[in-house]
Amino acid sequence: MKKVIYLLAASAFLLHSCGNSQASDKSKTNPETAVTGNPSEMVAAQAEVAGNSESASQDTTAKPKGGTILIGKNDFLKKVWNYQSNPQQWVFLGDKPAIIDFYADWCGPCRIASPILEEVSQEYAGKIDVYKIDTQKEQELAAVFGISSIPAFLYIPKNGKPVMAAGIGRSKEETKNMFKENISKILLITN
């Protein structure tokens, strides 16, 4: 009963939070702030592949194309974290760092961020994976991660804890720079 009430409250909050995320100070991410929460309550979503990319001019060498991928519960459990078999500890299952974009079709800032993130995913093809989760269809997963404002982006390094950031920049350029800076500082750091 407690989980049902939690999920209903989180769902209602998501429905009203989108409009306040654009041009907020939340677009700056603090790499020191890792995602927290009760892993045993994590639930995920359903799978579908999305996104495409155009091939680069007439270059004949094979290059990774990139692109964002819409994921759900089955893919989340296989590619990101199987919370069912490992509920007490975050264990990333990916073979390279990843970003998860929590979005909704009705969200204006989400629609602004989507093509920018698609462009970034192609630019970093082969270096990172970029996934999308529709918070309208996957309300439980959004609630598990405590998504209170969308768009929200979960940056998942290959090793270590994931970092959550919410909102976008004031312009397309600021938003793209935000993604690139967070990728550099959180995902592709070299020791």
Q: Which residues are catalytic?
A: 107, 110
Which residues neighbour 19 within 8 Å (Cβ) at sequence distance 6 or greater?
108
Sort residue 166 into left (φ over 0), alpha (ψ -120 to 50) or beta: beta
CA dist., res. 191 & res. 113, Å (int): 30
Radius of gyration of the chain (CA): 16
In angstroms, rounded to a whole number, what is the distance separating the alpha carbons of residues 148 and 142?
8
Structure tokens belonging to residue 181: 């800076």
